[in-house]
Amino acid sequence: MAEKFSVIGKSIPAKETKIKATGECKYVDDLPTDLHVKILRSPYPHAMIKNIDVSAAEKLDGVEAVITYKDVPNRLMPRGCARALYILDPHLRHVGDEVAAVAAISESIAEDALTLIKVDYEVLPAVFDPEEAAKPDAPKIYPEGNVYGPQYEPLHEKGINAPTLLEWGDINKGFSEADVIVEDTFEVGPQIHAAVEPHICITSWVGDELTVWTANQVPYEVREGLAYVFEMPESKVRVLSPFIGGGFGGKYLNRYHAICALLSKQSGGKKTKIRFTREEEQTNSKRFLSKQYIKIGAKKDGTLTAIYFKGYADLGGYGNFFGNSGFWGEYPAAAYKVNNSRFEGWDVHTNHFTSQPMRSVQVPATVFSVESVIDQVAKKLNMDPTEFRLMNMPQTGDVMPPLPYTANTVGYPRAELEGYPSKKLMKLVKDELGWDKKWKGWGRPVEENGTKKRGIGIVYSGYEGGFCHDGFMSMAASMNKDGSINIMAGTQDLGNSSNMTMCQLAAEFMGIPLEDVNIFTGDTSIGQYDYFGARASRELTTGGHLLLKALEEIKQKVRIIAAPRLGVKPEEVEIKGKMAYVRTKAETDALKEAIPFAELITSSITAGASGEPGSVFPETAPGKKVRNSMVAGIEVEVDTETGEVKLLNMVTANCPGKAINPEVVKGQYQGATIMSLGYALWEDFVYDENKRAYLTDSFTDYRVPRAQDVPPLKTIVLEETPDRPPHEGTPYGAQGVGELGCWSGPAVVASAIYNALGKRMQKSPMTAEKVLELIKEGENK
């Protein structure tokens, strides 16, 4: 039913890439300011401020304002799905926690002023391991204990610490039916977001109105949080986030916004700017570090019977967004046709800096551990890893347990997968990698050359990224008298061309040229809303869906106006190419009698759309769910003398549903895949407890992938589009694509290392040092 599209399905560079290439594009750091802020940070991982004296700092020439916990409102600043916090707090919960802040006429004066602040600390015992921190006798970072999850607040009040629990089927029955059971444990380090643009914010007050310029994924969260903490209506807070120099889950509302706004207020409203140093940036936010226990059972014929998962994730001192995530560990298991599963996700505060989601939340770590055990089960059954996965993976049309977001639910409805060609993806990767030729059996290298051994691995997973929380977002569109369209978007463009993609959707849907569509975003004064912002790959899917709903309403308004003129009922009127005509007539006749908009309307026509209030995970169609599927394969060479892992060749196959802008889609997969290789191999996080210092606070010590690090990468994109109207469910069947590529790195590298060495990595990142340790250990799983 190949429908012809005019605008979607075409690779078109985003409009703003031109000004990004010329340097004309103004990021927040490029805007003027009056004052600069520096923050005094805690030298201790856990301490209480006993005394603080800022009088000398206040007297320094050029200093305009100094704040400590004594100066902040006695109100907890709310954040989206995260612990509320005071702007400054005498209880310090990690090295680098905010102690005081100074605004001065230059950065160097502000830095000098920090050295004049005298602080007496009471040092408290600290805890860094999330499993240790979950124990009742661990140092308490919060009075009620360290295990966190908003839905457990009633339990906390009773003094009960509990994990987030997600389960379906009967886990005990599942294991009793198994012929083969494998258990293993894993430790996965954090990953630092490490955007090239540091966190940044400029604030100013005019009268009682606050304006904030910040590179932020969720401007509406910033507005809500600041309005609440400063006790002002949201209508008087304007947040602008025109361009973001990389986010990846790192740029949400945080204390620095409120610190900046308070200092600005105290200096008479002057423009006041905070820009993190690289050292601050590298010790500000991270993906969780975690410990995971996995147990998987299968029958002799290879049928999976049960997957059990227990994980401890470190939230750091505060955590941000979905501390109650249940670890998001269910995704890798929900990727298999298994009737019995149980997840215990312990989200636990530690004295590290904040953990928050990073590109596909915690899924890359859980894919690493679940796929590592899936491999071990297949080995025990003496099955080829690809055959074992093919046997157990669902595909389009299969009815699967949807992900249960309510703790302890049983008997939730099941849904049919759409746009999930997993088996085709597996075949594509196998062929491209030359699997059948290269696979020599479990733990057997593809090739050995002296101390160098080559190994090959393939992994698979599924994730529900994209179509979510439509009840927490709004999109609006306005059709001008000339038929051109302005989009007023709640969505936020992270640099992933979501604005261009949105314009393509509108142009296609309205049958007008792309040039006639313009989009306005990144400014809360647009009057739209998005509580969750640019997260969860939902801009195109959820935002695009709401946009098409708004545009459909505009069409409907025009149909009602045009129907009497055309002498037909509104439902017989077709809207396309800035004209209204009769749908039921032969097109040539219809177009002859078509009425141009200019003759129909005397004002612009505006419509907005949001999901049902509170709507969280809407179905794409009755009984249907979108889920993303991906298969990745890699060939590596391990140097058994040094432990170094050289990446020889990587292949990924991904399904985006409908690719609205194919090169943009591919670019998302590529970028995410390389980011996941950094996570797998080089991005090591080191905290020295004796020095009380993060040793990986620079791009030299924390190595993100560089151009020479990455292997030859083949990115296969396989479209599969459901047959339904474009505005019902995800737009034109498109799926979220931003996070998909991020799952594969640790899992696929570990699998290939196993096949090279016959030994399995249980720790990630798999730095040369850790691989060498494994080589020397001599254990064989």
Partner 1 sequence: MEAVSSKIVNILVNGNNYEVTVASNDTLLTVLRDKLGLTGTKFGCGNGECGACTVLIDGEAVNSCLVLALNCEGKEIQTIEGLASSNGDLHPIQQAFVDNFAIQCGFCTPGIIMSTKSLLEKNQNPTEYEIREAVNGNICRCTGYENIVKAVSAAAETLRGK
Buried b / exposed e across 548-560, counting CB within 10 Å, b at 16+? bbbbbbbbebbbe
- When the beta carbons of 19 and 598 are compared against partner 1, the nearer one is 19
DSSP per-residue string spanning 547-568: HHHHHHHHHHHHHHHHHHHHTS
Using the structure block, give the residue that is written with the tokens 């856990």.
Answer: 46
Rounded Cα–Cα distance for residues 676 and 688 (Å): 25
CB 618 within 8 A of CB 470: yes
Under the criterion CB under 8 A, does residue 124 sit at the interface with partner 1?
no
Residue 496 found at the interface with partner 1 (CB under 8 A): yes
Of the residues 3, 23, 158, 437, which one makes contact with partner 1 according to CB under 8 A: 23
User: At residue 172, what are phi and psi to the nearest 5 degrees?
Assistant: -65, -40
Q: Do 164 and 329 contact (CB within 8 A), yes or no?
A: no
Residue number with CB closer to partner 1 (68 or 497) = 497
Shortest distance, position 123 Cβ to partner 1, whole Å: 29
Among 177-185, 271-279, 572-580, 762-770, the segment contacting partner 1 (CB under 8 A): 271-279
The nearest distance, CB 196 to partner 1, in angstroms, is 4
Q: How far is the CB of 710 from partner 1 (least distance, A)?
A: 6
Q: Does the footprint of partner 1 cover residue 633 (CB under 8 A)?
A: no
For 614, counting Cβ atoms within 10 Å of its Cβ (0-12 exposed, 13-18 middle, 19+ buried), the class is: exposed
Q: Judged by CB, which is closer to partner 1: 217, or 767?
A: 217
Q: How far is CA 320 from CA 39, 84, 356, 714, in A?
A: 20, 9, 5, 34
663 is a site residue for partner 1 (CB under 8 A): yes
* By the rule CB under 8 A, 414 interacts with partner 1: no
Stretch that binds partner 1, among 265-273, 275-283, 288-296, 641-649 (CB under 8 A): 275-283
- Report the greatest alpha carbon distance in the chain: 85
* Contact residue for partner 1 among 5, 27, 520, 531 (CB under 8 A): 27
Contact between 494 and partner 1 (CB under 8 A)?
yes
Identify the burial level of 389 via C-beta atoms within 10 angstroms of its C-beta, where 0-12 means exposed, 13-18 middle and 19 or more buried: buried
Of the two residues 418 and 739, which places its CB atom closer to partner 1 in the complex? 739
> Which member of 218, 244, 716, 771 binds partner 1 (CB under 8 A)?
244
Residues 688-707 within binding reach of partner 1 (CB under 8 A): 698-700, 704-707
Enter the tokens of residue 544: 């695009």
Q: Three-class SS of residue 757?
A: helix
Among 145, 174, 198, 544, binds partner 1 (CB under 8 A): 198
Q: Smallest distance from the beta carbon of 218 to partner 1, in angstroms?
A: 16
State yes or no: residue 636 binds partner 1 (CB under 8 A).
no
Stretch in the footprint of partner 1 (CB under 8 A) among 38-46, 541-549, 556-564, 710-718: 710-718
Sign of CA dihedral 463, 469, 470, 473: negative
How is 651-716 classified by DSSP, letter by letter?
Answer: EEEE--BS-SSHHHHHHHHHHHHHHHHHHHHT----EETTTTEES--STTTS----TTTPPPEEEE
Q: Give Cα separations from 268 to 114, 207, 214, 262, 483 (angstroms).
A: 21, 9, 20, 10, 46
Q: Which is nearer to partner 1, 70 or 706 (CB)?
A: 706
* CB of residue 515 to partner 1, shortest distance in Å: 17
**Secondary structure letter of residue 621 according to DSSP:** B
The one-character DSSP state at 539 is I
Residue 708: other Cβ atoms inside 10 A: 5
Q: Which of 148, 230, 248, 256 binds partner 1 (CB under 8 A)?
A: 248
By CB under 8 A, residue 87 contacts partner 1: no
Report if residue 56 touches partner 1, rule: CB under 8 A: no
Stretch 278-297 residues interacting with partner 1 (CB under 8 A): 278
Query: Is residue 188 involved in binding partner 1 (CB under 8 A)?
Result: no
Nearest to 45 by CA among 133, 118, 110: 133
Shortest distance, CB of residue 754 to partner 1, whole angstroms? 25
CA distance 337 to 611: 30
Stretch that binds partner 1, among 80-88, 196-204, 311-319, 380-388 (CB under 8 A): 196-204
Q: What is the C-alpha to C-alpha distance for residues 222 and 484, in angstroms, rounded to an integer? A: 32
Q: Is 670 in the site for partner 1 (CB under 8 A)?
A: yes
Judge contact between 493 and 521, C-beta under 8 A. Answer: yes
3-state helix, strand, coil in the chain (%, to 5): 30, 25, 45
Tell whether residue 30 is a contact of partner 1 (CB under 8 A). Answer: yes
- Considering the complex, what minimum distance in angstroms separates the CB of residue 509 from partner 1? 24
Residue 173 touching partner 1 (CB under 8 A): no
Q: Does 138 sit near partner 1 (CB under 8 A)?
A: no
In whole angstroms, how close is the CB of 173 to partner 1 at the nearest point?
Answer: 44
What residues line the site for partner 1 (CB under 8 A)?
11, 13-14, 16-18, 20-27, 29-30, 108, 112, 115, 194-198, 243-248, 275, 277-278, 494-497, 663-664, 666-667, 670-675, 698-700, 704-708, 710, 713, 715
